[in-house]
Amino acid sequence: MNDMNIYVSMTLSFLIGGLLSLLIKHLNQKGKNSAFLENINKLEAEKQAAILEKETSVEKLKSQFNHDLEVQKKEFTLAIENKKYKYESKKNEYYIFMAYLDVFNSVQMKVLHDDFLPVITSYYQTDVTGFQQKSHEKSIEFNNKCLLALSKFKEQQGILFSQVNGLKLSASEEIMQVISEIIEEIQVISVNFQDLIEDLGRSDFQSQQLLSNDLLSKEQDEQEKITLLRENLLRVMKADLDQL
């Protein structure tokens, strides 16, 4: 009986020990599994945080890129508009100056051929005996018409010269150089007109009624020079616009 009890006790002890061992192993394994799961969850959380951070960073980069792109587009559009405005502004200035130059040339020719010469012809008409018929009234009329013709020339000259100041703000040095040469030639023409009026009062003209060929040739030479300078001015203006 005692042996049986001992045997039962040993068996129970063995079973209990085995169960305890299994329980301990199970608990240890469960602890390991729990720690493993915690590590997995931690890694997953870190992964999700990294993904979120990366997505946030990408969104920030995309947002910054789009912002920079819009800024560059606006700057590019503004640069194009400024370039277009500058081109149109310069083109209009050049066009206006050339128009005034053409008007001046037209007025100059009209003053000489339609104003001066008819007045001279009318004043110095002779009768059948060859003597000039000049009354005091006709002399006054002659002087007034000469002064009027000269004032037309001076007025148009002043209008043309006033356009030069505006061009100084935007035109290139090459353009202003050509314009300076044109102005010099116009001033020579102005002096020639003054000489022409003085020529009308000379005694040899009043007796022969012939204008100095030198004065007429000078006027023609200056007109040809202005024509050549005008063509050169158009060339340098076009080159200046092409550079914009």
To which H or E segment does residue 5 belong? helix 2-110
To which H or E segment does residue 63 belong? helix 2-110
- The answer to the question of residue 50 being in a domain is no
User: pLDDT higher for 8 or 91?
Assistant: 91
Residue 125, both tokens: 């008409």
Comparing 22-26, 191-195, 237-241, which segment has the lowest mean pLDDT? 22-26
The answer to whether the CB of 240 falls within 8 A of the CB of 172 is yes
When the pLDDT of each residue in the chain is averaged and rounded to a whole number, the result is 76
pLDDT reading at 107 higher than 90:
no
pLDDT reading at 236 higher than 90:
yes
- The answer to the question of residue 100 being in a domain is yes
To which H or E segment does residue 19 belong? helix 2-110
The answer to whether the CB of 170 falls within 8 A of the CB of 90 is yes
Distance CA 101, CA 103 (A): 5
Question: In the chain, how many domains are there?
Answer: 1
What confidence score (pLDDT) does residue 193 get? 77
Comparing 34-38, 147-151, 202-206, which segment has the lowest mean pLDDT? 202-206
The answer to whether the CB of 233 falls within 8 A of the CB of 179 is yes
- The answer to the question of residue 191 being in a domain is yes
Question: Which segments of 111-128 does DSSP mark as H helices, in order?
Answer: 117-123
High-pLDDT (> 90) share of the chain, %? 9
Model pTM greater than 0.85? Answer: no
Distance CA 20, CA 14 (A): 10
What confidence score (pLDDT) does residue 128 get? 39
- CB atoms closer than 10 angstroms to residue 219: 19
Residue-wise pLDDT for 140-156, tens only, equals 666 777 778 778 888 88
Q: Give the pLDDT band of residue 33 (cuts 50, 70, 90).
A: low
- The answer to the question of residue 76 being in a domain is no
- The answer to the question of residue 197 being in a domain is yes
With b for 16 or more beta-carbon neighbours within 10 A and e for fewer, the 6-19 pattern comes to: eeeeeeeeeeeeee
List of residues 6+ apart from 240 with CB closer than 8 A: 90, 171, 172, 174, 175
To which H or E segment does residue 174 belong? helix 173-200
- Span 73-99, mean pLDDT? 87
Q: Could you give the dihedral angle defined by the CA atoms of residues 105, 111, 112 and 113, in that order, rounded to the nearest 10 degrees?
A: 100
Distance CA 217, CA 181 (A): 20
Containing structural domain, residue 205: 89-242
